[in-house]
Amino acid sequence: MKIFSKLPARKAKFVKTMLIVLAAVLVIAASSVLVVRQVYHNNLKPAGSSQKHVTVTIPLGYSVQQIAALLKQQSLIKSTWAFEQYVRGQNLQEKFKAGTYVLQASQSVSEIVDVLTQGKIQTDKFTIIPGERIDEIRADLINSGYSEADVDKALSPATYRNHPALADMPSGVTSLEGYLYPETIHKNAATPPETIVRLFLDEMQKRLTPEVRNGFVAQGLTVHQGIILSSIVENEVSGANPIDRPQVAQVFLKRLRVGMKLESDATTSYGQVLEQSPNLYNTYENAGLTPGPISSVTASSLQAVAAPAASNWLYFVSGKDCITRFSNTIDEHQALIDEHGLSTQSDKCQ
């Protein structure tokens, strides 16, 4: 009161009014924060009381936003915003594991996130994701309860030498990389791992149609080489529109024909996973195809290599906008990179 007594009456009244307004604004702001916080915590609670099992498959490479949308679509969470905020607040964005899970609407967001980040995969189903490597498949089988010895035996090509899917596999190949078709199969605790692997080989055989096999030959490839190139296409176009795959296949096939190196980041990364020295999968340094496939492949990638686009490109790049663009010269290629950037894993081009 002493402060105001030293000011002219009109000015003192104005200051008083401004302080009241400021106090009101602060009260409203504090109330808004409390309301938002209350809404946020309420949205972290279970979406419902139902204990019905809901099967959800999280594809490889799905972003937090995509996972949230999938869970909301299944009525397993109340709010995609609250889910995303919780995940980021816990710094779990990169911790989600692809696979098939069983969830319930009666689970809270924290419980659901725990299931998805701990890889608590549904035990009566087994899924191979498109573009998944054989070492990842091996780990998933072991996590399903099988011993390492049983899994290693089940993943040995020698166990299935008479299987038609392996009819064109060269002798000496010791890995089923690329030959296990990405699919979800049903199993139970008594299902041997060999049975699981055989089912995926059966699925691969269905996709290795006479048209696909003949298409490989028409491109100057053996079936095994066709699968190798298909796995490269699978990884190079995994986040783009599948319609790009025939054009990407055309680029690689032309490079093989004219003696250019494939220069695929996906193959080089695969060799790094294998911790090879030298990296025989580094197609920036090594000419021709890689020693073997680099992952599981989908039918669209197999078909892309068997029947590539009728184009004549030598270069392609996926920009930050997740659009694949093609060019004929290194200068055109570099100009596209300068203009649109390069997509990275963080761009989530799915």
Please tell me the predicted confidence (pLDDT) of residue 336. Answer: 85
The CATH topology of domain 54-118 is Dna Ligase; domain 1 (3.30.1490)
* DSSP state, residue 281: T
| Full DSSP string of 41-88 | HHHTS-S-S----EEEEE-TT--HHHHHHHHHHTT--S-HHHHHHHHH
Phi, psi at residue 102, to the nearest 5°?
Answer: -110, 120
Pair of tokens at residue 238:
């995994």
Please tell me the predicted confidence (pLDDT) of residue 128. Answer: 96
Do 314 and 327 form a contact (C-beta atoms < 8 A)? yes
Residue-level pLDDT, tens digit, the chain, 350 residues: 455 555 566 666 666 666 676 656 665 655 565 666 888 889 999 999 888 888 888 877 789 999 999 999 999 999 999 999 999 999 999 999 887 788 999 999 999 999 999 877 766 789 999 999 999 999 999 988 889 999 999 999 999 989 999 999 999 999 999 999 999 998 876 789 999 999 999 999 999 999 999 999 999 999 999 999 999 999 998 655 678 999 999 999 999 999 999 999 999 999 998 887 889 999 999 999 999 999 999 999 999 999 999 989 999 888 887 888 889 999 988 898 888 888 765 455 65
Which among 228, 239, 289 is positioned nearest to 261, based on CA atoms? Answer: 289
Q: Give the separation between CA 14 and CA 7, rounded to whole angstroms.
A: 10
Domain spans in the chain, listed from the N-terminal domain onward: 54-118, 131-207, 210-347
pTM across the whole model: 0.66
C-beta contacts of 69-73 below 8 A and 24+ residues apart? 71/103, 71/112
Provide CB contacts within 8 A for 153, sequence distance 6+. 159, 193, 194
Q: Give the separation between CA 295 and CA 136, rounded to whole angstroms.
A: 10
Please tell me the predicted confidence (pLDDT) of residue 186. Answer: 87
